[in-house]
Amino acid sequence: GNSVTQMEGPVTLSEEAFLTINCTYTATGYPSLFWYVQYPGEGLQLLLKATKADDKGSNKGFEATYRKETTSFHLEKGSVQVSDSAVYFCALGKENSGGSNYKLTFGKGTLLTVNP
Amino acid sequence: KAGVTQTPRYLIKTRGQQVTLSCSPISGHRSVSWYQQTPGQGLQFLFEYFSETQRNKGNFPGRFSGRQFSNSRSEMNVSTLELGDSALYLCASSSTPSRTGGYGYTFGSGTRLTVV
């Protein structure tokens, strides 16, 4: 079945540091890949997405590139801010072989804390 | 446009009771999915509805059920509540998933259910 593995947290960084959160996936075919962010007490917000190999998703300074050869979708940001403190989830989305029953499979989440 | 609305935001129930949670998707979205989020298991897929039909179901006991109405609003019901059902229940809506990779979901803020 489909699965997502992301690096265990928590990750603690100082403001303006470089961020990488690793994510690898297992799936047949060509899933779509997503990063979601969850701020304390809130639901999930879509941060960025990529729907095919070599696509780069980007938003708010965050980037991730869909690497089919390494089955990875690592999240990066060049200079984090205190306001980036949140839990980040990597996810893949795919239909079943019949083209229906689309669902998201999530990683366990990585807690990021950015200190001033 | 309005986002995904989940009601209520917080709920406290007693073991053995039943509960109904509501989700109103983004206008025009016909697919509604439900996820359970717990610290131990992370985000787990419950079920998906599209045009009033359940299209996919996760690995949850029959105590968990749902339905979708003609206006795409969805409800999920949990009967005979157990302590382990305490979780954040998230609803997500999307436009029709594409066979070529699908689209990212828009999540609501969730309903925090506490079973005592």
Cβ <8 Å between A45 and B90? no
User: What average pLDDT does range B32-46 have in this prediction?
Assistant: 92
- Which 3-state string (H, E, C) describes A87-108? EEEEEEEECCCCCCCCEEEECC
Per-residue pLDDT band for B102 (boundaries 50, 70, 90) equals very low
- Which candidate from B31, B101, B107 shows the least CB-CB separation from A44? B107
pLDDT of residue B97: 54
Judge whether residue B20 has pLDDT over 70.
yes
Residues of B in contact with A49 (CB under 8 A): 104
Instruction: Name residue B44's beta-bridge partners.
Output: B36
Per-residue pLDDT band for B98 (boundaries 50, 70, 90) equals very low
Residues of A in contact with B108 (CB under 8 A): 43
For residue B35, what are its two tokens? 């996820």
Long-range contacts of A40-45 (CB under 8 A, 24+ apart): A40/A86, A42/B109, A42/B110, A43/B4, A43/B6, A43/B88, A43/B90, A43/B107, A43/B108, A43/B109, A43/B110, A44/A89, A44/B90, A44/B92, A44/B107, A45/B107
Long-range contacts of A38-42 (CB under 8 A, 24+ apart): A38/A86, A38/A87, A38/A88, A38/A89, A38/A109, A39/A86, A40/A86, A42/B109, A42/B110
Cβ <8 Å between A42 and B110? yes
Query: Which residue has better confidence, A44 or A18?
Result: A18
A36-74 tens-digit pLDDT: 999 988 888 989 999 889 999 999 999 999 999 999 999
Cβ <8 Å between B107 and A43? yes
Cα–Cα distance, A104 to A31 (Å, whole number)? 10
Cβ <8 Å between B101 and A51? yes
